[in-house]
C-alpha cells in the first residue's frame, strides 16, 4: 500500500510539474508577444499629414540613450504646439485626424512616435519605463522651434500613448495640459481584460504568468504601470479624459478611475456606445474636434 501511495504521489507530482512548466512556457510566449513588436509585424505607413491637408516636415530626434525616432511636424501659427502620440503597437498615422483638427485652428502639431514602434529601433515595449526618454526628446525638439512659445505646449495621446502622456506630463511641469483618449488605469487590469477577450474567461488564470514573464523580459514592474498614480502628480494642470462604454481593449471603468484620481481642473467625456479610442469613430468627429480644440484653447493658449 505504501509503495503504491509513493508511486501515486510521484505521478501526481510529475503531472503538476509538467502543468507548471507548460503554464510558464505559454506565459513566456504571451508575455514576450506583449512587450515586443518586431519590424516585420509593423504595417508600412500609407498616409501622411498631407493627406489631411496639413503642411509638414519629416523630422527625427535622438533620445538620451541613442535611439533615433521618426516624426512629422506641422508648423504652428498661434505659437502653441501639441505633441500627439499614438497607441500600443501603432504608429504616426494613429493621431492624424486629431492633428488635423488642431492644425485647422492654428496649432503646431508634433506627431511623434515611440521606440519599438513605427520605423523606430528598439527591442522592447516597457509601458513608460524607457519611453519617457522618447517623450523628452520630442519635447526638446519643440523647445528648439522658433514658431513655438515654450509656455504653450500640451499633449494629446491615444490608448497607451494617452497613459504615457499623463506620466510624462507628471514628470514635466512645463506641459500645460493633457488629453488622453482611452488611457488605461492600471496595466494589470488591462492585461486581464485582454486575455479574457482573446482567450476567454476560463484562461484568466494565465494572467499572473503572462505578467510575470513580461516583467522579466522587459525589465519593469507591472504594478508600477499605474496611471491612477501618475495622474495625481498633474495636480493644478488640466486633464481631459475620453472613455468609451463599449471599449474592448481596456476596462470600461478606466476613465472613471482616472477621473476620480485626478485633481481639478479635470473633465471626463464618456460615450456609452463608444469603442476604444472614441475619436476614431466617424460619427464622433465633430464632437471630438470641438472638445479637443476648446480644451487646448482654454488651457494652452495662455502664457500664465
Q: Which structural domains are found in the chain, ordered by start?
A: 52-186+225-299 (3.40.50.1820)
State the DSSP code for 113: -
**pTM of the predicted model over 0.75:** yes
Q: Where is 108: in which H helix or E strand? A: strand 108-111
Whether the CA torsion 191, 127, 152, 54 is positive or negative: it is: negative
State the DSSP code for 172: -
Alpha helices in the chain (DSSP H): 2-35, 96-104, 132-143, 160-171, 187-199, 207-218, 227-230, 254-261, 285-299
Can you state the angle between helices 187-199 and 207-218, rounded to 10 degrees? 120
Whether the CA torsion 116, 165, 180, 228 is positive or negative: it is: positive
Rounded Cα distance between 144 and 77, Å, is: 16
Phi, psi of 207 (to 5 degrees): -55, -50
Rounded Cα distance between 124 and 273, Å, is: 33
Only one residue has cell 476604444, namely 276
Closest of 261, 264, 267, 269 to residue 237, by C-alpha: 264
Rounded Cα distance between 110 and 20, Å, is: 47
Are 138 and 112 in contact, with CB atoms under 8 Å apart? yes
Per-residue pLDDT of the chain (304 residues; tens, 9 = 90+): 577 777 777 777 778 778 788 888 988 998 899 999 999 999 999 999 999 999 999 999 999 999 999 999 999 999 999 999 999 999 999 999 999 999 999 999 999 999 999 999 999 999 999 999 999 999 999 999 999 999 999 999 999 999 999 999 999 999 999 999 999 999 989 888 877 776 677 778 888 889 999 999 999 999 999 999 999 999 999 999 999 999 999 999 999 999 999 999 999 999 999 999 999 999 999 999 999 999 999 999 987 6
Whether the CA torsion 53, 56, 58, 60 is positive or negative: it is: negative
pLDDT at 1: 52
Amino acid at each position: 500500500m505504501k509503495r503504491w501511495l509513493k508511486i501515486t504521489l510521484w505521478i501526481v507530482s510529475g503531472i503538476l510539474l509538467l502543468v507548471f512548466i507548460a503554464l510558464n512556457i505559454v506565459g513566456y510566449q504571451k508575455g514576450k508577444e506583449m512587450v515586443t513588436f518586431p519590424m516585420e509585424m509593423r504595417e508600412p505607413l500609407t498616409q501622411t499629414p498631407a493627406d489631411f491637408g496639413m503642411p509638414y516636415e519629416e523630422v527625427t530626434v535622438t533620445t538620451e540613450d541613442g535611439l533615433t525616432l521618426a516624426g512629422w511636424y506641422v508648423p504652428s501659427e498661434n505659437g502653441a504646439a501639441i505633441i500627439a502620440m499614438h497607441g500600443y503597437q501603432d504608429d504616426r498615422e494613429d493621431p492624424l485626424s486629431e492633428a488635423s483638427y488642431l492644425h485647422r485652428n492654428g496649432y503646431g502639431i508634433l506627431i511623434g512616435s515611440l521606440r519599438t514602434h513605427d520605423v523606430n529601433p528598439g527591442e522592447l515595449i516597457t509601458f513608460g519605463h524607457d519611453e519617457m526618454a522618447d517623450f523628452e526628446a520630442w519635447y526638446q525638439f519643440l523647445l528648439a522651434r522658433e514658431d513655438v512659445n515654450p509656455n504653450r505646449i500640451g499633449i494629446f495621446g491615444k490608448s497607451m500613448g494617452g497613459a504615457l502622456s499623463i506620466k510624462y506630463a507628471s514628470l514635466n511641469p512645463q506641459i500645460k495640459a493633457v488629453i488622453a483618449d482611452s488611457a488605461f488605469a492600471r496595466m494589470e487590469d488591462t492585461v486581464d481584460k485582454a486575455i479574457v477577450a482573446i482567450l476567454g474567461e476560463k484562461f484568466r488564470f494565465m494572467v499572473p504568468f503572462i505578467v510575470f514573464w513580461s516583467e522579466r523580459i522587459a525589465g519593469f514592474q507591472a504594478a508600477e504601470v499605474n496611471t491612477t498614480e501618475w495622474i495625481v502628480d498633474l495636480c493644478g494642470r488640466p486633464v481631459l479624459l475620453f472613455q468609451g462604454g463599449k471599449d474592448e481593449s481596456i476596462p470600461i471603468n478606466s476613465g472613471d478611475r482616472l477621473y476620480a484620481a485626478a485633481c481639478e481642473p479635470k473633465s471626463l467625456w464618456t460615450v456609452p456606445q463608444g469603442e476604444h479610442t472614441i475619436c476614431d469613430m466617424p460619427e464622433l468627429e465633430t464632437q471630438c474636434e470641438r472638445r479637443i480644440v476648446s480644451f487646448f484653447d482654454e488651457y494652452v493658449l495662455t502664457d500664465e
